[in-house]
Each structure stands twice: as structure tokens, then as C-alpha cells.
Amino acid sequence: MARNGFFTGLDIGTSSVKVLVAEYVEGEMNVIGVSNVKSSGVKDGIIVNIDVAANAIKTAIAQAEEKAGIRIDKVNVGLPANLLQIEPTQGMIPVTTDSQEITDIDVQNVVKSALTKSMTPEREVISFIPEEFVVDGFQGIKDPRGMMGIRLEMRGMLYTGPRTILHNLRKTVERAGVQVENIVISPLALTRSVLNEGEKEFGAIVIDLGGGQTTVAVMRGQELQYTNIYQEGGDYITKDISKVLTTSQSIAENLKFNYGIAYPQDATEKEKFMVEVIGESAPVEVTERYLSEVISARLRQIFARVKQDLERTRALDLPGGIVLVGGVAVLPGITELAQEIFGINTKLYVPNQIGIRNPAFAQVISLVEYVGSLDEVEMIAQAAVNGEAHLRQKPIDIPFDVPKVRPAIQPVQKEVPVADSEPVEEHPYVPYAETDSAEPKVKITDRIRGLFGSMFE
């Protein structure tokens, strides 16, 4: 059950930085502020310039604070799946209390024993998800607190990542003037958020089509079982349009969102628009079908690579099919193209929160939903992970208090007003299909664009 209180999510992407502030009241999430600014200092989902990235984060946080009317001092930041490793682990401790009743300290100590698993110095534990506890041989226990026992065991999934990436992430967020409350594995939060209970249990695939990269995550049996990163995304589509039409990056980006269709069969030769071409004195006429073929070529390349890996893992046999999210997923015809290539049921996920009904916001929403829905046992486990650098040097039988989870935000006082390794060129951030110069279109594709046409309703 979701906790009451305020939670802030921070999604640092290659193309944009998003901040979302939400309040949970009796299990219902109410979005009270959101921002979306152009990203800088990030390449392929990884921070490459701390100062530049921190400035972008600071701008996004300031905008979210203004809209929400609160001051943000802690954030739950998403970590991409780059070099993520997932492996099962387990721990075991004796119950040492006189009453032999299992307490919070016992739960935290058994998590600590699982964290002592040897790993290379360059890796760090990001998260640990308890799956079941075993008390004196009795299995399948979700929360052992209050039970009596002599021996407490626990099994779960351990998520580790490169220490360098984690350090740079924390350093960047702190330099932006806020503290990291939790580091959340982005594909884990996303699959939990966008899949229904049946899809989580029987298995489904989530494909996040971002600006700088495409992330694939597979969940089955309520567990994140597979992730992969492909260093191609929406920015590469923009770059293709720019090169083929010999136009600027900013014009190419506008063409993609204002006229782009992912599935050429849905486009037409009759729809035409004028494009400013470098070296030409007058704009050149381009058809909707031609632009669609340029867009489709890159998407087909991305989907073909994803399909090849999913076939090796037999993930395409899962009954839940594919769910598409991310900024590129707003392109009309994207589901039809994906379904043709993958050959299985494919659908588009659109968040239902008022004002942000756009697949591009699925990731930042999932971060808030993830931390807001953590139960007490998961919070105890995460508290142990957050201190695991110190825990590795402590005996597991040393008790310590479980840190209280502090609110992520405080009210503002009234007086405070890879396949293609070539880098993507910088271009102005254009979040949605809006244009001042284009004539309104009456086709069904424009009605779809209208659904994603603005950040706030």
C-alpha cells in the first residue's frame, strides 16, 4: 500500500531532464508539479560532464518547485540499465533476541548478510529486492516480523552497477543543490508501473524509446529478469532527417514531431510541406510519405537489433507482448511498425495523470510510483543497501536503528518566491508536436498528435 506524503522523481535522460512532484493521499497519487527541460552533459544515458548536467538538473528542479509551490531538497533519481547486473542471492542469521521474536533489526541483519556476497571492487549494490523469508524451514513468508524463530533466511534479487556511474550520478545531483533520497533502477520501476498484474506474472516486454538510447526490460514472475541498452534513439532519427533533407537539426526535430509517421503505409504522397534546405534559396517540397520512410528506416534498424536479442532469450514467447513508452513512442504508427517487425501483440502505454498524458513521462512517473509504493520490509532492505559500504565492515550481529524515511520535499515559505557511435549534434529541445507555421491537419494522425500536444491540460 502506498505511503502518504510527498515524493519527487528525477529522470536524467540524454535529451531531457524531467522532475515530477507528487503527493500520495490514501494510496492515490496526485501530481502537483512537473518540469521538462533540455538535457546537457549526458551521453548515451550516462553523465559525462558533472557541472553541465548539474545546471540542467537545477533548472528542471527550479521549474518544478515553482509549479508545485514547494521547495525540493531530496529526489529519487533513476539509474539507467547500463552495465546493470541482476543475480539471486540469499542470507541467513540466527535470531538472537531473548523472546526469539523476529524484529526489524533481524530483517535488516539478514539483508546485510546477503550483501556480503563477494563482488569486484568496481561494482556497487544498487538495490536488493526481498522475494521470500524462511523461518525455521517454513518458506514463502513475505514479512517475518513478529514471528518466532531460531533461524531466519531470506532469498532475493541483487542489483549491482558500476561504482563510477553511481558516484558521478550522486555527485551531479548533489551539485545541483539537492540530496539523493533513493537511487531507483529505471527499468525496474518502469516495468512495475506500466505492466498490469497479469503481465508482471506471466511475462511481458517494455521498450523505452528515448532520445539517446533504447532500453528493453523483461519482467516475468514479478521479477525484472532481463535488461539491455541500445545506443540509438530519437536523436538518431532527427539526425537522419537532417542529413537526408540537408536541413538543420532544429528543423528536422520539428518535422519529426509535427509531420512524422513511423509506419509508411499510414502516410500519403498527397500531404506535402515546405522545408528550408541548406544551399537552396527557396524551401523544398517534401511529402509525408518520404519523411515517414526516413523515420521508419531507423526504427526498423533499432527494432531488428532488439528482436535478435529477444529471440535469443525467448522473451518473444511471453504472453504479455510488448509495451512501448518513451518520447519516440508518440510518433503515429509506432505500434503498427513494432507489431509488424516483432510479430507479437504490441501496445502503447499512455499515463493517465492529467496534464502529462504522454509516453515520454512514463519513466519519471514510475520513479515516484516505485518509492511511494515501497512496503515496510522493502524500506528496511533499502536502508541496509544505502549503508552497505559501511555494513561490509561490520559484523552482522551489531544492531542499529532503522533510519526513518524523511519527506523528500518541504513546503516553501511564503516569502520565498553503440551501432552508431557517432555523437548526436546538439539541437533545441522540442517536446511535442507544436508548430506556429504549419497549417492544421484534419487527418487521424493529427488527432493522435493532439493527444500529446501539450505538457499540461
Could you identify the residue written with the cell 541483487? 158
The whole-number average pLDDT for the span 267-286 is: 92
- At residue 456, the pLDDT reads 38
Q: What is the DSSP string of 284-345?
A: EEEEHHHHHHHHHHHHHHHHHHHHHHHHHTTGGG-TT-EEEESGGGGSTTHHHHHHHHH-S-
pLDDT at residue 414 is higher than 70: no
Q: Per residue in 169-218, pLDDT tens?
A: 999 999 999 999 999 999 999 999 999 999 999 999 999 999 989 999 99
Look at 408 and 122; give whichever has higher pLDDT.
122
* pLDDT, averaged across the chain: 84
pLDDT at residue 53 is higher than 50: yes
**Residue 177, SS3 per DSSP:** coil
pLDDT-derived band at 2, boundaries 50, 70, 90: low
pLDDT at residue 373 is higher than 60: yes
Look at 116 and 411; give whichever has higher pLDDT.
116
- At residue 100, the pLDDT reads 87
The whole-number average pLDDT for the span 435-442 is: 41
pLDDT-derived band at 446, boundaries 50, 70, 90: low
Q: Per residue in 55-114, pLDDT tens?
A: 999 999 999 999 999 999 999 999 988 878 888 899 999 998 878 899 999 999 999 998
- At residue 96, the pLDDT reads 83
Cell, residue 419: 551501432
Order of strands across the sheet that contains 151-162: 85-94, 151-162, 123-135, 138-141
- At residue 442, the pLDDT reads 44
Give the other-Cβ count within 10 Å of 174's Cβ. 13
pLDDT-derived band at 118, boundaries 50, 70, 90: low
Question: Cα(9)–Cα(378) distance, rounded to whole angstroms?
Answer: 18
- Domains of the chain from N-terminus onward: 84-161 (3.30.1490.110), 193-348 (3.30.420.40)
- At residue 93, the pLDDT reads 94
Contacts with 153 (C-beta within 8 Å, 6 or more apart), sequence order: 90, 91, 92, 110, 133, 134, 135
- At residue 263, the pLDDT reads 96
- At residue 281, the pLDDT reads 86
Please give the model's pTM, rounded to 2 decimal places: 0.81
> Sign of the CA dihedral 385, 389, 395, 400?
negative
Nearest to 363 by CA among 214, 203, 257: 214
